[in-house]
Amino acid sequence: MEAIEIIRSRTVVLAQANVDTDQIIPARFLTTTSRDGLGAHLFADHRFDAHGQPRADFVFNTAEAAGCQVLVAGHNFACGSSREHAPWALLDFGVRAVISTGIADIFRTNALRNGLLPVVVDDDFHKKLLASPGTEVEIDLRRGTVTLPDGAHAEFEIEPFARFCLLEGVDPLGYLLSKEPEIRHYEGERAWRP
Amino acid sequence: MTATDQRQSETGGPRTLFDKIWDRHVVVPETNMVPAVLYVDLHLIHEVTSPQAFDLLRQRQLPVRCPERCLATVDHSVPTSPASWQIRLADMDVAPRNQIRKLDANCGRSGIRLLGINHSRRGIVHVIGPELGATQPGMTVVCGDSHTTTHGAFGALAFGIGTTEVAHVLATQCLLQRRPKTLAVEMRGRLPEGVTAKDAVLAMIGRIGVDGGTGHVIEFRGEAVRAMSMDARMTLCNMAIEAGARAGMVAPDEVTFDYLAGRPMAPKGEEWEAAIERWRHLKGDPGATFDAQVSMDVSDLAPQVTWGTDPGMVAPVTGRVPESAGQAALEYMGFAPGEPIEGRRVDVVFIGSCTNSRLSDLRQAASILTGRKVAKGVRALVVPGSQETKRRAESEGLDRVFLEAGAEWHESGCSMCIAMNGDRAGGGQTVVSTSNRNFEGRQGSGARTILASPLTAAASAVAGAVADPRSFLDQKRRIA
């Protein structure tokens, strides 16, 4: 995995709370056996009308959204299913970080495992971001800060091991594999069955 | 006592059910820098979230570490139409067919037991795990599916994971996990007639919100929970994820043991006796504390239905859409603020899904449909959770009840809960559904979902509109 330290980008804002994974990537696109190419279907039912034409009023279809790598989302973003297709679709589309006041548990883990930064900030800072779509932000993973052009900033926390893996560009599976002796020991020691 | 148990008991203090299961599965304890390495007892696998995980193992040249701890089936994309009882892969669309073939090949190569498309015990992964006795108290259970929380009904710690973590478990039988917080949900009193576990859990989500359980494992407790069947407890735990919770669980008791006794994968003979002895200790110690607590009296609860686009937008069936309801949800659902929900015209009724497709759910639906007809213009689908459930329902004559009422009787699968297999509702249609998510487009692009219990769904099928099942129960009594 590619190491991540700093993400600088303009923001695209989707203020609605509880945007679920069925909105991010509808289930009919989950028949793929690949993790590639899902960006084409990101927010499919919102980006396209019944005839497959782009809806001009959806934020991801606007000229300003082009090239934005940071999504500012409403509270409890990506609630619902465990489909990793959700972070795959966002990353494939070019989104590298999501900023919200709350991000659903399974999605957050899936995002971290794929190098999509789930950034949870306080309510006041979030309001500021919602009010200024297209603003340039700098996300500094090492320092754990999001900074606006006027210098205003917020701190965020990422689970320390996931953060380490992202900064170093290493895969946590390697760590799990290195614990094989402990796993064997555990299996041998466990006198009981589940 | 093992050394691991020894270490944990030395930390002292009364522990919750969750604490006990967690502690027993820690291979490497967590520190500030690293999460715990947590051992997984049962890994359930299906066709949609596993192919990329098997690919990852192949790329890394890693074997499946413990195929005997895996159980695979096909459920999400399989056709359920009555004509397809011998499903031929050739009849399926290319993409789902490819998924099913890949699962077959991946399981075959790795030595994983697969209940494949024409296997007599196949079904929805969260229905067959318990039905086969694979899900047992005290286990850690994971699956690449958020409704894995269902298995917590047995006093297991069960939760959904993404595909990368599916690969982690395939390769190491372990996961990296931070210890979640705990939330006790106490359900006081007894559920009234016509009101079910589905209504209780919808009411809970309405109260704590769709993110009310985030970061927490819920333990459902109290008189109402103790009085529930295993099927009802599974409904409860299934919906824990809809409150954002990591998992839901119920401490095992005689109801649990009776359910598991004699199941194909449950322990037998002396092992069974020893297992029950162990499982009896799987309950919270007196004085064990939770990070948060919610208490609700369910003795006056009415049947619950959703009116909006997430499971927290819920009201009693006799209630009205809140005046304060959000514009987007109202517009999508075609409801006005303050509008009564009962009486809303219905196009489709779906009875099925990992939430409500078990035998007792089907019996409840049949109790309403016996001697009645599905209203003209309403399409009613009954989709059993597994082929075994289907056979048992048929041996009781439930299929006749559904067919004579004018409903469709299907093969098992996820079907219209996720609308991946061709079973879907049309844009603008209103669906009363016993499934778990009323998200926009979940049951088909533009389809409007109203979540409800099997009783409410069946009553609504007969009325052709959202209906209160209690009035149907009264009628039956009067006739008798």
**CB distance B138–A84 less than 8 Å?**
no
What are the structural domains, with CATH classification, of chain B?
Answer: 42-177 (3.30.499.10), 304-479 (3.30.499.10)
Please indicate whether residue B10 or residue B275 has the higher confidence score (pLDDT): B275
Partner A contacted by B145 (CB < 8 A): yes
Residue A1 lies in a domain: no
| Angle (nearest 5°) at CA A142 between A141 and A144 | 60
Q: What pLDDT is stored for residue B426 in this prediction?
A: 97
Mean pLDDT of chain B: 95
Q: What pLDDT is stored for residue B4 in this prediction?
A: 43
**CB distance B211–A186 less than 8 Å?**
no
Structure token pair of residue A182: 């402990």
How many distinct helices (H) and strands (E) make up chain A? 8, 7
pLDDT band at B11 (very low <50, low <70, confident <90, very high): low
User: How far away is chain A from the Cα of B403, in angstroms, using its nearest Cα?
Assistant: 29
Q: How many Å apart are CA B328 and CA A17, to the nearest integer?
A: 11
Taking contacts as CB-CB distances below 8 angstroms, the residues of chain A near B55 are 33
Task: Look at residues B349, B353, B385 and name the one whose alpha carbon lies nearest to residue B368.
Answer: B349
**Per-residue pLDDT at B471 exceeds 50:** yes
CA-nearest residue of chain B to A186? B27
CA-nearest residue of chain B to A107? B162
pLDDT tens digits, B439-462: 999 999 999 999 999 999 999 999
CA-nearest residue of chain A to B437? A80
- Contact between B71 and B46 under an 8 Å Cβ cutoff? The reply is no
Q: What pLDDT is stored for residue B1 in this prediction?
A: 35
- Domain count of the fold of chain A: 1
Q: What pLDDT is stored for residue B344 in this prediction?
A: 98
User: How far away is chain B from the Cα of A146, in angstroms, using its nearest Cα?
Assistant: 22
Residue A146 lies in a domain: yes
% of chain B surpassing 70 pLDDT: 95
Structure token pair of residue B409: 């009787």
**Per-residue pLDDT at B478 exceeds 60:** no
Task: Look at residues B332, B35, B281, B330 and name the one whose alpha carbon lies nearest to residue B138.
Answer: B281
**Per-residue pLDDT at B479 exceeds 50:** no
**CB distance B146–A161 less than 8 Å?**
no
**Per-residue pLDDT at B168 exceeds 80:** yes
Mean pLDDT of chain A: 96
The residue segments making up the domain with residue A111 are: 6-189
**CB distance A109–B162 less than 8 Å?**
yes
Sequence length of chain B is 480
Q: Which residues are CB-neighbours of A80 under 8 A, at least 6 positions away? A: A20, A21, A22, A104, B146, B437, B439
Which residue carries 């409150």 as its tokens? B243
Name the 3-class secondary structure at A133: coil
Residue A194 lies in a domain: no
Q: What pLDDT is stored for residue B23 in this prediction?
A: 97
How many CB pairs lie under 8 A apart between chains A and B? 177
Q: What pLDDT is stored for residue B68 in this prediction?
A: 97
Taking contacts as CB-CB distances below 8 angstroms, the residues of chain A near B271 are 193
Least CB–CB distance from B34: residue in A27, A161, A192:
A161
**CB distance B310–A28 less than 8 Å?**
no
Which residue carries 């190569």 as its tokens? B109
Q: What pLDDT is stored for residue B81 in this prediction?
A: 86
Partner A contacted by B27 (CB < 8 A): yes
Average pLDDT over residues B421-426: 94
A77: domain CATH number?
A: 3.20.19.10
User: How far away is chain A from the Cα of B244, in angstroms, using its nearest Cα?
Assistant: 7
**Per-residue pLDDT at B87 exceeds 70:** no
**CB distance A186–B27 less than 8 Å?**
yes
Q: What pLDDT is stored for residue B475 in this prediction?
A: 62
Residue A169 lies in a domain: yes
Average pLDDT over residues A102-111: 98
**CB distance B95–A50 less than 8 Å?**
no
How is residue B469 annotated by DSSP? H
Q: Report the interhelical angle of B359-369 vs B387-395 (nearest 10°).
A: 40
| Angle (nearest 5°) at CA A193 between A190 and A194 | 110
Q: How many Å apart are CA B90 and CA B97, to the nearest integer?
A: 8
Q: List own/partner pairs for B225-231 with CB under 8 A and 24 or more apart.
A: B225/B187, B225/B250, B226/B253, B226/B255, B227/B190, B227/B191, B228/B197, B228/B255, B229/B255, B229/B360, B230/B130, B230/B153, B230/B154, B230/B255, B230/B256, B230/B259, B231/B358, B231/B359, B231/B360, B231/B361
Q: How many Å apart are CA B321 and CA B206, to the nearest integer?
A: 13
Residue type at B165 in one-letter notation: E
**Per-residue pLDDT at B83 exceeds 90:** no
Which H or E element spans position B249? strand B247-249
- Contact between B198 and B454 under an 8 Å Cβ cutoff? The reply is yes
pLDDT band at B70 (very low <50, low <70, confident <90, very high): very high
Average pLDDT over residues B149-160: 98
Measured in whole angstroms, the distance separating CA B474 from the mean position of its chain's CA atoms is: 29
Partner A contacted by B77 (CB < 8 A): yes
pLDDT band at B85 (very low <50, low <70, confident <90, very high): low
Q: How many Å apart are CA A81 and CA B364, to the nearest integer?
A: 28
pLDDT band at B86 (very low <50, low <70, confident <90, very high): low
Task: Look at residues B240, B218, B356, B188 and name the one whose alpha carbon lies nearest to residue B292.
Answer: B218
pLDDT tens digits, A129-160: 999 999 999 999 999 999 999 999 999 999 99
Residue A30 lies in a domain: yes
Taking contacts as CB-CB distances below 8 angstroms, the residues of chain B near A50 are 427, 445-446
Q: What pLDDT is stored for residue B12 in this prediction?
A: 79
pLDDT tens digits, B363-382: 999 999 999 999 999 999 99
pLDDT band at B476 (very low <50, low <70, confident <90, very high): low
